[in-house]
Structure 1
Amino acid sequence: MPNKFQHLAKKYAILKRGWSPQQNLFYGFFTYIILGFLLLSLPFAQKEGASFLDHLFISTSAVSTTGLVTVPIFDTYNTFGQLIIMVLIQLGGIGYLTFTTFMLLSTTRKMTPWHKKILSTEFTLPKTIKINDFLKSVILFTLIMELIGAILFFIAFKSDGMPFFEALWISIFHSVSTFCTAGFSLFNNGFTDYVDDNFINFIIAMLAICGSLGFIVITDFGLWIKHKTHKISFTTKIIFYGFLILLTLGTLFFYFFEPSITALTGKSRFLASFFQTMTTMTTVGFNTVDFGAFSQAMMLICIFLMYIGASPSGTAGGIKITTLTAVFAIMKSQLKGSKHITFLGRIIPYDRLYTAMSAFIFYTIIILIGTFLITLTNDLKFENILFEVASALGTVGVSTGITAEINTFGKIVVIFLMFIGRLGVLTFGLALWSKNVKQENENFLKEDIAV
């Protein structure tokens, strides 16, 4: 029997090496989801029963670090079930093969070409950062931040009178969930009871921002601190400044124009404005006020922030700030009649521009298709459905409260959207349609088109 398993394992390894990097990522995350689904379906992982679709939904939401739920986590799953969800969040947050490759580097200090190819596909890195340095930064920074987060959460929850072991477990769970921007909470009403709690707001914001800014930024700054000769990459500068601008503008919009927040007084108004902007941008998915009570204008702002997300190679979803920058650069250069596509005085390579524009268009098409399919089969408000779709594809996890109300077909659509959001729209498309060809035949006729 052991020989038979070894034979099957070898055949599977050969099969994997025949797949493209995108297909490896596709099947890798799909495997995580199925394993999570099977474990969550076990009776001894549950407090009370739930449907198989609910277990599949929760597993997909955890691996994709989204946070949308059809059943309350604390009421449905016991500690073992919650542990499974936390492990799925961690695996989804740090990426496919990241931990195993780190262990490989720690023992042999060598990375196989197969590992390198897949990781280079999953994490888009500037040329100034090596994949080996990047992986070490991912694992070490994740462990350090989640440990700090767990300690801070424990202090906060214990001071609120929570029993020791309950506070310890809830702190660990929320620290992992927050840093991986997963938005899973063991509180049925999220963090609405902590709208004016400075300490809790600070912990969540710190972890979510550090996770969503991305490991590129962390690695870049880490190398700069370690080696003063290292130059901060242009990518890091775009991410950092873009994030600050969007976070500031979003906070101001919420502070002045959202009725449910303007009704608050003192520090609560500012904290709520900042937190809701931060949670949609970082795609952490927690909330301290009810998104279902938002005005349509501010729901549109939320959808825009969820659409953008934060940084590539981080834990956040969305099209990413760098993609928005590239698309803006194309528009600006075209309007100015410039021969080159530039941003902040730098020429952006055409291959990056093609990638950004493709991601922008494909992402928008998927949002439109997802919204159409759910609207077609569910009698719910259009703006709530659009919000839900943007949240699912952006792996955000905030909701206006309709997740459990969506019918079976709609939930399956949301499951697909969360899976696509975790993979990345281009990775998903390439996994389905890309073919490994050595050389394309480019005997095409050139033709003009009016634009």
Structure 2
Amino acid sequence: MNYITKKYRRFRLSLSPQQNLLYGFVSYTLAGWLLLCLPFFQKQAVSALDNLFIATSAISTTGLVTVSVFDTYNGFGQFVVMLLFQIGGIGYMTFTSFILLSRTGNLTHWHQRILNTEFAMPRDFQIRDFLRSVIIFTIGIETIGALCLYIAFTRAGVEHNFAVWSSIYHSVSAFCTAGFGLYNDSFEQFAGNTAVNTILSVLAICGSLGFIVVTDIWNRLTGKTRKITYTSRIIFTVLTVLLAGGTFMIYFFEPSVSTLESSRLTTSFFQAMTALTTVGFNTVPIGGFTLPVLLVVILLMYVGASPSGTGGGLKSTTLTALIAIMWSRIRNNNRVVFFGKKIPLERLYVATSVFILYATVIFVATLVLAFTEHFSLEQILFEITSAIGTVGLSTGITGDLSPWGKAVVIFVMFIGRLGVLTFGLAVMARRKLWKTRATQDDLAV
């Protein structure tokens, strides 16, 4: 047994941080899949592919489903799904690293490297303070969210016992921006319930803002720092602008929302929020949206949440870096400056690479589904953008995908959770830095 343990440990240490993340998420996905396949966790039998789809959707915190979670899995199965999106939401290394830190007071260099890779933290962040804030904030916000949802659900007429489980499940799902629900219509029956909409929105925004922002605010409140970091200011700015813009577009240009009258603003805000934070809940049928508004939602899903948070997408800071590059070129500035700060060249390389890889995955996956499925282009594009952004919104085609279509979406969801650049580095990168001896030449662009 000791020999096997040593071999396993040696194998893990030989992997790069990106490969360790890939290995870890694959392991958790397969473990969840095997559990969901057992009759003990099921109300009714479904195919192995559907179970794999649900397991991948949960660990990636996406929320796309081919079968109803409530109708397919019993309480134990629903708990497994919740456990998967809890692990996927805060990162599979977080709990083990926190336990190690609590017991020994230190983290190994191996743990620190993987955590830095998983959360993409700024260089001036202390990993120990960051890890503690992640655990404390997660437990605290999910507990408060569950209590608030319980009160809101019982006042809305939900039966007591189900309200208890539903409030816990949806609090975790909202904070982890997982989009999994126990209601087959998501939250359409609560479209006019301001309390439920507000609680879910606060939970999702808290999760999507990112633990960098949480740690930053905590350090500011406790006096460890005098002001919030540049990254946090960018995150707040982008979130505010896109959330306001998305709400405006849905409010004024979506006919299905204009008929709601008293809850029109709440619904418009909720649908913009659910796309941008990648939580994936909906209070109106997305399939009924007009094409212009559908494209706005696709854009919000494409940008997504913030780095180190529970949400997916391209990330708000990546969008900022790309805008900064464009703005600097237009102004003929040889330095990339945004909000009065020069962005490091290394970060610009990463942002550009992520953007290209992200667009490539969307294009290839959309092209494949255009061959295998019979749906319209906008429906396929919406589904793939939702999958890679780990959003979970759908126009209603997920359950009708062919086996090949489901396999493609599974693969895209997994890449979306791991990150396109992390996946690329895990699969293709050399272990050591590649020093090229190529000579420089000009390229017309």
Q: TM-score range by the shorter chain?
A: over 0.9
* 1:389 partner SS: helix
1:67 matched to 2:63? yes
- Take 1:272 and 1:320, find their aligned partners in 2: how far apart are those partners? 24
Does residue 444 in structure 1 map to residue 438 in structure 2? yes
User: What's 1:310 paired with?
Assistant: 305
Q: 2:415 aligns to what?
A: 420
Residue by residue over 1:121-179, the C-alpha shift from the partner in whole angstroms, topping out at 9 and shown as x without a partner, is 11111223211111111111000000001101111112233332221111111111110
Deviations 1:176-216 (A, max 9, x none): 11100000000011100111111000110000000000101
Unaligned runs of 5+ in 1: none
SS, match of residue 318 in structure 1: coil
Tell whether 2:353 aligns with 1:347.
no
The one of 152, 155, 162 equivalent to 1:156 is 152
Please tell me the residue identity of whatever aligns with 2:230.
F
- Give the distance between the partners of 1:172 and 1:7, measured in 2 at CA: 42
Q: 1:10 to 1:372 in 2, by over 3 A?
A: same
Distance 1:133 1:254 in 2: 40
1:429 aligned residue:
424
- Alignment root-mean-square deviation, CA: 0.9
Give yes or no for the alignment of 1:217 onto 2:213.
yes
| TM norm structure 1 | 0.97
Q: What residue number does 1:233 align with?
A: 229
2:264 matched to 1:269?
yes
> Of residues 238, 243, 254 in structure 1, which corresponds to 2:239?
243
Give the match's secondary structure for 1:332: helix
Q: Distance in 2 between matches of 1:443 and 1:400?
A: 50
Instruction: Pick the aligned partner of 2:9 from 9, 13, 16.
Output: 13
Q: How does 1:271-350 map to 2 (within 5 A)?
A: 271-350=266-345
State yes or no: 1:393 paired with 2:388.
yes
Q: Deviations over 1:343-380 (max 9, x none)?
A: 01111000000000100111001000110011111111
Q: Is the 8 A contact 1:66 1:395 kept in 2?
A: yes
Deviations 1:193-247 (A, max 9, x none): 1111110001100000000001010100000000164331100000011100110
Residue equivalent to 2:36 = 40
User: Secondary structure of 1:379's partner?
Assistant: coil
CA contact (8 A) 2:243 2:272 kept: yes
Would you say the 8 A contact 1:128–1:233 is kept in 2?
Answer: no
TM-score using structure 2 length:
0.99
Counterpart AA for 1:166: F
What is the correspondence of 1:200-215 to structure 2 with a 5 Å cutoff?
A: 200-215=196-211
Distance (whole Å) between structure 2 residues aligned to residue 250 and residue 406 of structure 1: 29
Residue 19 of structure 1 deviates from its aligned partner by 0.6
Q: Which residue of 2 aligns with 1:369?
A: 364
SS at match of 1:114: helix
Amino acid at match of 2:201: A
Equivalent AA in structure 2 for residue 112 of structure 1: T
Counterparts of 1:40-119 in structure 2 under 5 Å? Answer: 40-119=36-115
Aligned partner of residue 227 in structure 2, secondary structure? coil
For the 8 Å contact 1:126–1:233, the answer to whether it is kept is no
- CA-CA distance at 1:447 after TM superposition: 1.1
Displacement over 6 Å in runs of 4+: none
1:299-343 C-alpha deviation (Å, 9 max, x unpaired):
100110000002000011001010000000000100110010010
Q: How many residues align?
A: 445
